[in-house]
Amino acid sequence: MVHGSEARRLDRLVLGALLVGALTGCGAAGGAETTAPPEDPRGGTAAAAAAPASAPPSATPRTDAPLPTPEGTGSTSSATSPAASSAAAAAAGRIQDPTSSVEVPVTTEAPTRVRIPSIGVDAPLEVLSVDADDALQPPVAWEAAGWYDGSPVPGERGPAVIAGHLVGPTDAAVFVDLGSLAPGDLVSVDRADGTSATFAVDRTISAERTDSFPTSEIYGPTPDAQLRLITCDGEYDPSRGHWTRNMVVFASEVGP
């Protein structure tokens, strides 16, 4: 449930550089010049949008807790210094960001893995936090997704938030096929205590990263356990260093 100052923040919170930084797919880092359109693994050039000509540096991993070791194949990124990461976030622009709807400590039930069989996703989950500017830090690895630790643990009441990259420096990233999900498709989230929660997709939206972004609809309190899967969408805007839209998948819990 959103209380007091947290509720008042919903109207102004801008999802900082979710999938910032080194995202060839979700933003340019460190002021990297954007000159050539990327090859979109979903087919063709990425919405005829310009993207970084070379892969920018990655976001900085958390220093207060170890991140899961990425599994599978594909490009992984090396960490930059905190100063470089801050510069990357600034260069990447800002997208609508969640506020913490509940106080959720990282416990033994924290999520560790997300599985979406219909689009071939079986990925480790990093733990994502917001910085002092309410900017949600991105997953470090392209093939990993991340759980926002200011949202409920998947399976608890409220909207749990999992974010992932769209494309990496040279290939598809974990959520490249997120837009292919259909109502009824299943998403399972494993937790550290050996339990899991299963969700069924309700709907998918593509929202412009503007003042009209449906922040409350996506991050507001819910009467039951729900899940939000988020990645970038639309066109890459080189003048702002980020993509123009966010894709958000809404899902509701259907069982363990």
Query: Pick the residue with more confidence: 225 or 107?
Result: 225
The larger pLDDT score, comparing residue 46 to residue 192, is at 192
User: 57, 68, 207: which is closest to 124 by C-alpha?
Assistant: 68
pLDDT of residue 236: 84
* pLDDT score for 131: 84
Question: Residue 37 corresponds to which tokens in the numbers above?
Answer: 């359109």
Reported as half-sphere exposure (CB side, CA atoms, 13 A), residue 92 has a value of: 35
For the whole model, what pTM was predicted?
A: 0.65
d(CA 217, CA 156): 18
Specify the amino acid at residue 94: R
The 10s digit of each residue's pLDDT in 149-195 is 999 999 999 999 999 999 888 889 999 999 999 999 999 999 999 99
Q: Tell me the three state secondary structure of residue 164.
A: strand
Helix (H) or strand (E) holding 113: strand 111-116
**Residue 106 lies in domain:** 4-255
Q: Give the domain CATH number at 251.
A: 2.40.260.10
Residue 223 has pLDDT above 80, yes or no: yes
**Domains contained in the chain, number:** 1
Percent of the chain with pLDDT over 70: 58
Burial of 33 (0-12, 13-18, 19+ CB in 10 A): exposed
